[in-house]
Structure 1
Amino acid sequence: MDTVREYDSVKITRRGREPARDQVMVEATIDLLVNGTRLSSIVTTPEMHRELVVGYLITEGAISSMNDVQGIEQDGNKVDVKIKNFEHFNLWYELRSSGCIGINWEHRDEDLFLPIGQRFDIDIILDSLGYLYSDIHKKTRGAHTACLVDAGGEMRYRALDVGRHNAIDKVVGAAALAGEDVTKMFLLSSGRQPAGMVMKAARAGIPLVVSKAAPISSGIESARRANLTLACFADGEKVKAFSCPERIVS
């Protein structure tokens, strides 16, 4: 299924109106099941659904890695993930549109603290910002992008979605399915950085989040508690680190 569809529109200006045609992002809804029990419905683009649900479970703290996954079955718009220790989860059903979080876990991340391990060169960070460019977003103005980049500047995973949270889930899930170590990578995100976005990265073990957009106070405070480096307002010349600037070397 295509991620973009064309629609007729009417362009209206001070000088009048004329017919137009625009490319628009396509939404699909998938049902996430855990051990046969429906956990959430997720509004997303019609691609990378296995990656999305694995990343979602990791970034929401339901599982720590693929070691907790016993199998994944996909049937149409349903993805059923077989995981261990299902009886410990407090679940409810929630329609999850872009920007929402659908799970409330008893574990509140109090003990989550990322050690200063991998460091990242400022030149590599700034040069990597081009990975966020999306021709689809340029055409539709409706896509968010997330990328995982290694310390050498190679883009390892990239995803687009109607939801900024979903894009992060997809790249985290793709890395997990491939058995990659995300603690050696940094996350590029096209969206603003409130707590919900920052904590997704922290729970996955990603030490550095870089965004061209702004941070939100809750995101800064969460990053500082988790010892995650949050760098925002990134452009070709600089980033502004609101927490743990020592991970970025120049």
Structure 2
Amino acid sequence: MMGAGFSPSQSRSGLSIQAEGARMVTRALPEELPVALVFDGSTQAVMMATPDDIEDFAHGFAVTEGIVTEPAQIEGFEIATHERGIEARFWLRADRREALAARRRFMAGPVGCGLCGIDSLEQAVRDMPDVAHVGPSFSRDDIAHAADALSDIQPLHRRTRATHAAGFVLPGKGVVMAREDVGRHNALDKLIGALWRAGRDPASGAFVMTSRLSVELVQKCAMAGCGTLIAVSAPTAHALRLADAAGITLAAFARGGGFDLYSNPHRISHEVPDVA
């Protein structure tokens, strides 16, 4: 669902200056707008995001922040569009309101900074579920080709060359769902929200990202109950420590038919032969 009146990309003219000369060009640029996540009339966070799939984004945020754990806890939802941004408004069941106080955040900062505005150092690295015993096994090819398959279903990136994507991978089926955003954290929240709203269990597959793997992406993966995380780029050392502790199979540099496997290899049924 797209915020009414807002497009995920805009065409803009500019002057391209190259070694051979200058010329006027028109390019598609990704849009980003403030999106307020509002729970029972109180703003929990304001995120800069691409204004499409906002309902997925809001629900994914609610899940990965631990605000809700099942659809029945949401009594109402609406999207309100304003001149300068979008509000995603939730009304929660009474027993979930305490979760807001436990992890209240105000974030109004650059995309890609997933921890802006938290209240304490303890909240930066919070407790995560143990997902060591959830999730299917994957073949070597499932992991090696996941990022390549994701690149084929990124229409916004094809237009702009400036967005990230998160995809959901099923064994033997490849990427079956994807979401895009200017921020990699937002793209994963959109994907988690889309799965949640469709009644699909994230534990039944893997997440694949077009970005590096940071701490918050590992946290979101664990909070969603997904046991395998794949990326086209590298993990940070801290993200790897968290993935290892949470039981997440972490595969990085997944491109060109190969990948690096860093933690919890038990979900990979045919590992890469050791050629060292």
Q: Normalising to structure 2: TM-score of the pair?
A: 0.83
Say whether 1:127 aligns with 2:145: yes
Q: Which residue number in structure 2 is paired with residue 89 of structure 1?
A: 100
> Equivalents in 2 of 1:136, 1:144: separation in Å?
9
Q: Which residue number in structure 2 is paired with residue 51 of structure 1?
A: 56
> For 1:8, which of 8, 13, 16 is the aligned residue?
13
- Provide the alpha-carbon RMSD of the alignment: 2.1
Q: Does the 8 A contact of 1:131 with 1:147 survive in 2?
A: no
Q: Which residue number in structure 1 is paired with residue 220 of structure 2?
A: 200
Deviations 1:143-174 (A, max 9, x none): 10111122232433211100000000001001
Q: Does the 8 A contact of 1:150 with 1:156 survive in 2?
A: yes
Deviations 1:177-226 (A, max 9, x none): 11111101100100100111111111111110111111111110110111
Would you say how many aligned residue pairs link Structure 1 and Structure 2?
Answer: 250
> Equivalents in 2 of 1:47, 1:194: separation in Å?
23
Report the CA distance between 1:237 and its aligned residue: 2.1
Pair 12,199 (structure 1): closer, same or farther in 2 beyond 3 Å: same
Q: Which aligned runs of 4 or more in structure 1 are off by greater than 6 angstroms?
A: none
Q: Which residue number in structure 2 is paired with residue 177 of structure 1?
A: 197
> Equivalents in 2 of 1:229, 1:96: separation in Å?
30
> Equivalents in 2 of 1:48, 1:202: separation in Å?
22
**Partner SS, residue 89 of structure 1:** helix
> Equivalents in 2 of 1:111, 1:73: separation in Å?
29
Task: Report the residue type matching 2:97 in the other structure.
Answer: F
Report the CA distance between 1:66 and its aligned residue: 2.3
Q: Which residue number in structure 2 is paired with residue 112 of structure 1?
A: 129
Q: Which moved more, 1:103-112 or 1:155-164?
A: 103-112
Task: Report the residue type matching 1:89 in the other structure.
Answer: L
Q: Which residue number in structure 2 is paired with residue 215 of structure 1?
A: 235
> Equivalents in 2 of 1:139, 1:74: separation in Å?
26
> Equivalents in 2 of 1:247, 1:176: separation in Å?
23
Task: Report the residue type matching 1:167 in the other structure.
Answer: A
Q: Does the 8 A contact of 1:144 with 1:191 survive in 2?
A: yes
Say whether 1:30 aligns with 2:47: no
Q: Which moved more, 1:92-101 or 1:143-152?
A: 92-101
Report the CA distance between 1:51 and its aligned residue: 0.6
Q: Does the 8 A contact of 2:232 with 2:252 survive in 1?
A: yes
Q: Which moved more, 1:3-12 or 1:123-132?
A: 123-132
Task: Report the residue type matching 2:22 in the other structure.
Answer: R
> Equivalents in 2 of 1:19, 1:111: separation in Å?
50
Pair 52,249 (structure 1): closer, same or farther in 2 beyond 3 Å: same
Q: Does the 8 A contact of 1:136 with 1:143 survive in 2?
A: yes
> For 1:98, which of 105, 111, 123 is the aligned residue?
111
> Equivalents in 2 of 1:243, 1:119: separation in Å?
14
Q: Normalising to structure 1: TM-score of the pair?
A: 0.91
- Structure 1's unaligned 5+ residue stretches are none
- Structure 2's unaligned 5+ residue stretches are 1-5, 271-276
Where do residues 129-144 of structure 1 align in structure 2 (5 Å cutoff)? 129-133=147-151, 134-144=154-164
> Equivalents in 2 of 1:19, 1:130: separation in Å?
33
Deviations 1:81-137 (A, max 9, x none): 122421343324321431123574877643621133421112222233333213432
Q: Does the 8 A contact of 1:29 with 1:41 survive in 2?
A: yes
